[in-house]
Each structure stands twice: as C-alpha cells, then as structure tokens.
C-alpha cells in the first residue's frame, strides 16, 4: 500500500539516476559518482536496518524527486516511505475554491492566483479555468506582487489574489499586503488560504491510525522558519525529524539519518540540509510573517479542521480580506475577528490547540506549537472534514494526503483520474503525489497492486470493488 521494497532492477535504477542527473551535474563522472553514492547509502540502509520502519516526507517537491529518481525502490523492504500532505494546492479545501469561484463570476472582479489553482475543483467539477472559459476574468500569476500591478493598472476593477502555500510562499504574500496598505491600494484584496506544516505533522502523529515513525522535513520551509517548531514536535512526540533537501543525495542522506536515529532509539531534529537551512531560519521573513499573519484554525482538504494549521490576516491587514470585503458567508478560519467558521462550535476556554493558548487565543508565530497538551486537541476535527470529493466517490485523495495510501492504490488512478481529467487535487497539482506517479511511473498500477487498491479504498472508508 505504501512505497518501499528493493525494486526489481537496481541496475536500471542506477542507470536512470545517471541519465536523469544530467540536468544537475556537469560531467558524466559526476553523474556516476552521484549514482554510486546513492547506491552506497542504500546498501548502508540495508546493513543497519534491523526492523521495519516507516518514514514520511511532507513536501510535494520531495515526493516528486523520490518518485522521479526511484529512490523508494532502492530502499530495503523493511524501510517504507509514505507521502504526507506536502502540497498546499492539494490541501486547499473545496470551500475555499467555492469562494474563489464565486468571486471569479463577478464582473467587477479580476481573480488571480498561481497556475495550479486554476485547475483545482470546488465541491463539484467546476474550476477557475471553466469560469474563465465562460467569460470570467481569471489570471495566472507567477509572483504575488503582480497582483499589485494589476490593481494599479485597473483602478476600476477589484483585484482578488487567491493566496496559497506553506510558510515558503507566505512571506511574499505578506510583502504584497504591506505594499498594498502602504500604497493605499483600495481595489486589492486577498483570499488568504496559507497553511502551516508543523501543525499538520502533529495532527498526523496524533491520529490513532498513524504509521509515521520519522519525518523528512522540507528544507525550503525550514529555511524560513528554522527548526524551533520541529524541536517542539520532537519533544512532544519523540520521533526523529531530519531536515532534507531535494536532490537524490540529499534525500537519501535524510532517509539514512532517520533510520540511524530509529535504530539507536534516538529522537532529535537533525539538519541534513546545512547548506541552506540555519537553526534560526530567516529572521526578516519571520518578522514579515508575524507582522501580517497570525496562526488560525483552518480546514485542510482530506484532513478536516486543522488546529493552528493556517495563517490569517491580523490587525490592520484584515482590511485586505476578500471574505470581509465581499461578505462571503462561509468563513474558513478561526483566529481573528470576522474569520469565524459558522458551522464549527465555538472554542471553549481551556480548549487550546496547536497555535492557540488555553483561552483559545492564537499564539505568536514564534511559539505556534506547544510541546504539551492532550493529543486529542491536535487531531484534525472530523466535524469539518472536507467534502470536496463527495461527488467523486472513486477518489481516495484524502487517504493519499494522510499517507494511508499511495496513488496506485486508487482504482481510479490512470483510468477515470488522469492529469487532463483529474478527480482530486493530488492529480491536479504539479506537486501532487498522484501527478508524480502518473508522470514518472505511468498510468498502470502494475502487477500485485490489487490488494493495495483494496487497502486504499478501505483507508478512505470505501467498499472494495
């Protein structure tokens, strides 16, 4: 059901590493050295592993690299890699997309976002691309500041930026918010849907069905935040967390570091991406985030309401909220005035959670995670479980996002669900796990996958076919 196993042809995988490394290294000798070093790490893993271990990466870029290079197929059978909710496009809830669709239909609005968001379905099959085809003004941006240029170029229109991403892209949105207030750009607003990685990691560990024994942490997120939140997580849950990069050597080094800790009975944060990540992170980016955003509870597609799992506009920056400006009814976050979710019960005193104190107030970003507190408070709430796939019962995107299944486990993978006709967000996004498997391993689930498909359906609460 999950990635792992020695693979049928290590020689083929080594040759693939040599060939695919051509766009990253200068010479054939470098490519051969990379392949040899990765293979040596795989051999060391096989030699030191004494029992089964399950590791999870929580970064879509890392998922694509692992699948592209076939790194999971180089691991010994006792070491499994499962894929977590590492793609912010994939976890953006259907309700947020419904709000974006509602805004995009308004003739006075220019709705803009990153390219992948234009293909993500809402609660039905409609996408922003479909609204654009019907005449809506929906535009693709590559940086948030382009939204400011649009607003200044079209003073008679309302420009709404659908802001998504982890803490890596949130500073750029924060910079946009600062400039919009400074320049008094009254026709620009944000449909903010930024999410935080560490609360999701905590929630996965608190899940009774959790399989994760160690994490590969995303190097780009840690380059912004540093490792403090991960230290809290390790203190609370006693699991190894290794900060890793995105190249084959960096990822295999991360896996090896995780297994070394597990075999030694250790649990600590280890930085295997020291060329980029510092323990303190990027102070300027952190200051910008703390100025514009505060932690809030936010629904994640496939996981439900995530305590402390989002970033909401704070203080004077709430004036930029598209939900406020257009009086959108279905609020998606709790943490700031006007951002309440009407379908959720109010937080009671003493019911703190990730990103909140005991009175339910959001904590500053620097202390957004608490190492103590009941595990139940950190679990995603089934009350607000996302219903984005209720009209597509063959899709098991939720189980895939929780690491309880991989794409070939899904009966719809490569048949009813393909990149040109996706059923779920993990096939839409360029960083989604389903898209990675389809791109690098083809549409066929392959022999021996039927049992995995049935297990995947069971993980999603679906009957076997």
Question: Where, residue-wise, is CATH 3.40.50.11750 in the chain?
Answer: 3-84+227-271
Query: Rounded CA gap, 211 and 54, in Å?
Result: 7
**pLDDT at res. 15:** 55
Contact 294, 365 (CB under 8 A): yes
| Three-state DSSP class for residue 79 | strand
Closest CA to 202 of 229, 178, 224: 229
**C-alpha separations of 137 from 65, 107, 122, 186 in Å:** 35, 8, 18, 19
Q: What's residue 8's pLDDT?
A: 39
Residue-wise pLDDT for 342-385, tens only, equals 333 333 333 344 444 433 434 444 433 333 333 334 455 544 44
Question: Domain 90-196+282-374 adopts which CATH fold?
Answer: Rossmann fold (3.40.50)
* DSSP output for 324-338: HHTT-SS---BSSTT
Residue 170 near residue 220, CB atoms below 8 Å: no
* End-to-end alpha carbon distance in the chain: 16
Q: Which residue has the tokens 């996002």?
A: 401
Residue 54 CA to residue 76 CA, distance in Å, equals 12
Q: Are 216 and 255 in contact, with CB atoms under 8 Å apart?
A: yes
Query: What pLDDT is attached to residue 14?
Result: 58
Q: Quote the pLDDT of residue 330.
A: 58
Give the pLDDT of residue 439. Answer: 93
pLDDT tens series, the chain, 465 aa: 344 444 434 554 555 555 555 455 457 788 788 889 999 999 999 999 999 999 999 999 999 999 999 999 999 999 999 999 999 999 999 999 999 999 999 999 999 999 899 999 888 889 999 999 999 999 999 999 999 999 999 999 999 999 999 999 999 999 999 999 999 999 999 999 999 999 999 999 999 999 999 999 999 999 999 999 999 999 999 999 999 999 999 999 999 999 999 999 999 999 999 999 999 999 999 999 999 999 999 999 888 999 999 999 999 999 999 999 999 975 444 333 333 333 333 333 333 444 444 334 344 444 333 333 333 344 555 444 444 344 466 789 999 999 999 999 999 999 999 998 888 889 998 899 999 999 999 987 443 343 443 444 344 443 333
Residue whose pair of structure tokens reads 């295999």 in the numeric block: 252
> Which SS3 state, helix, strand or coil, does residue 448 take?
coil
| Ranges for all domains in the chain classified under CATH 3.40.50.11740 | 90-196+282-374
**C-alpha dihedral, 112 to 434 to 421 to 109, nearest 10°:** -10
Q: Which residues contact 312 (CB under 8 A, 6 or more apart)?
A: 192, 293, 294, 295, 296, 298, 333, 335, 336, 339, 362
Sign of the dihedral defined by the CA atoms of residues 410, 413, 419, 423, in that order: negative
> Does this model's pTM top 0.85?
no
Give 187's DSSP letter. T
User: Of 324, 356, 404, which is closest to residue 54 (Cα–Cα)?
Assistant: 404
Three-state SS at 22: helix
Q: What is the CATH number of domain 3-84+227-271?
A: 3.40.50.11750
Summarize pLDDT for 114-134 with one digit per residue, the tens. Answer: 989 999 988 888 999 999 999
376 touches 206 (CB < 8 A): yes
Question: What Å distances lie between residue 179 and 148, 173, 252, 288, 442, CA to CA?
Answer: 8, 10, 41, 12, 45
């Amino acid at each position: 059901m999950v990635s792992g196993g020695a693979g049928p042809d290590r020689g083929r995988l080594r040759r693939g590493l040599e060939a695919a490394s051509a766009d990253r290294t200068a010479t054939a000798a470098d490519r051969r050295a990379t392949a040899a070093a990765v293979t040596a790490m795989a051999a060391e893993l096989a030699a030191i592993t004494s029992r089964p271990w399950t590791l999870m990466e929580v970064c879509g870029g890392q998922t694509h690299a692992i699948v592209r290079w076939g790194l999971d197929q180089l691991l010994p059978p006792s070491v499994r890699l499962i894929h977590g909710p590492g793609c912010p496009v994939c976890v953006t809830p259907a309700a947020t997309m419904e709000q974006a669709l509602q805004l995009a239909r308004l003739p006075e609005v220019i709705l803009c976002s990153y390219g992948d968001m234009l293909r993500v379905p809402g609660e039905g099959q409609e996408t922003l691309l479909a609204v654009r085809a019907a005449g809506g003004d929906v535009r693709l941006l590559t940086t948030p500041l382009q939204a400011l240029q649009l607003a200044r170029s079209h003073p008679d229109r309302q420009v709404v930026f659908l802001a998504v991403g982890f803490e890596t892209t949130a500073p750029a949105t924060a910079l946009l918010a600062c400039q919009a207030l400074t320049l008094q750009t009254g026709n620009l607003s944000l449909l903010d849907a930024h999410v935080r990685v560490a609360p999701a990691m905590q929630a996965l560990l608190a899940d009774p069905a959790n399989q994760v024994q160690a994490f590969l942490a995303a190097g780009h997120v840690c380059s912004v935040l540093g490792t403090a939140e991960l230290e809290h997580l390790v203190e609370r849950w006693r699991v190894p967390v290794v900060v890793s990069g995105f190249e084959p050597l960096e990822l295999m080094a991360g896996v090896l570091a995780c297994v070394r800790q597990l075999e030694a009975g250790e649990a600590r944060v280890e930085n295997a991406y020291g060329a980029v990540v510092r323990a303190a992170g990027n102070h300027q980016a952190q200051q910008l985030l703390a100025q514009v955003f505060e932690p809030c509870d936010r629904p994640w597609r496939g996981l439900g309401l995530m305590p402390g799992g989002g970033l909401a506009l704070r203080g004077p920056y709430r004036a930029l909220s598209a939900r406020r400006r257009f009086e959108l009814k279905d609020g998606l976050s709790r943490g700031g005035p006007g951002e309440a979710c009407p379908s959720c019960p109010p937080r009671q005193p003493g019911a703190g959670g990730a990103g909140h104190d005991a009175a339910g107030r959001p904590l500053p970003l620097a202390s957004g995670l608490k190492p103590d507190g009941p595990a139940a408070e950190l679990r995603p709430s089934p009350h607000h479980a996302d219903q984005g796939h209720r009209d597509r019962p063959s899709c098991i995107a939720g189980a895939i996002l929780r690491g309880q299944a991989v794409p070939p486990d899904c009966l719809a993978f490569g048949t009813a669900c393909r990149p040109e006709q996706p059923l779920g967000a993990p096939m839409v996004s360029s960083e989604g796990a389903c898209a990675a498997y389809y791109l690098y391993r083809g549409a066929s689930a392959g022999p021996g996958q039927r049992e995995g498909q049935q297990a995947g359906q069971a993980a999603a609460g679906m009957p076997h076919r």
